Amino acid sequence: MPKPASKAAKRPARKPPAKKGKAKRAAGAKQKAPASKPAGKKTSTARSRKARREDGAARTAQLVGAVLDDMKALDVRVLDVRHLTSVTDTMIVAGGRSDRHVRAIADALIEKCTAAGVRPLGVEGQESGEWVLVDLADVVVHVMLPRVRDFYKLESLWDMNARDAAAEL
């Protein structure tokens, strides 16, 4: 007794679908060249991206300032380092009275920034509590004990105005 033919054998073979536009090119139709923008001219999206980034950095710096004020951080200094490095826009250096106070400031900063939608890229030094660094991308926050702050003098390293004033003395 012969076997019945399979369903696949009954169906006619299909051709793969042709790519769109291929038929036009084959027939000799001309293609339009893409419109180009004048060389050297910045687009409005590039300017708006930069403006959004600066606004975001300013909002983050304001949030950090409010948290540091709430937590009674000592001697808060805000440094604009855009002209010195591409790593960050703003560096904030603050002090704490003890290692427990430094850790509490850093914990509150991380908690409030995360709640506001600004997730820290990294946190270093929380275990020892002498110097905690919180990296918020456009804003880097250093919370330090006074003796550590006096030893490293970050303000004089990153603040060009203070460096120039010290050189004149």
The average pLDDT across 150-155 equals 92
Set out the domains of the chain in order of their start, with CATH numbers: 45-168 (3.30.460.10)
Residue 77 pairs with which residues in a beta bridge? 93
Q: In this structure, what token pair is assigned to residue 68?
A: 């540091």
CB within 8 Å of 25: residues ≥ 6 apart: 31
Quick one: pLDDT band at residue 45, thresholds 50, 70, 90?
low
- Tell me which of 86 and 33 has the higher pLDDT: 86
Tokens of 141: 């926050």
Confidence class of residue 163 from pLDDT cuts 50, 70 and 90?
A: low
CA 165 to each of CA 82, 162, 168: distance values in angstroms, whole numbers, following the listed order: 20, 5, 5
Write down the pLDDT at residue 83. Answer: 84
Tens digit of each residue's pLDDT (9 = 90 or more) over 51-71: 655 677 889 999 999 999 999
| Residue 126 CB burial class (10 angstroms; 0-12, 13-18, ≥19) | middle
Percentage of residues in the chain having pLDDT higher than 90: 49
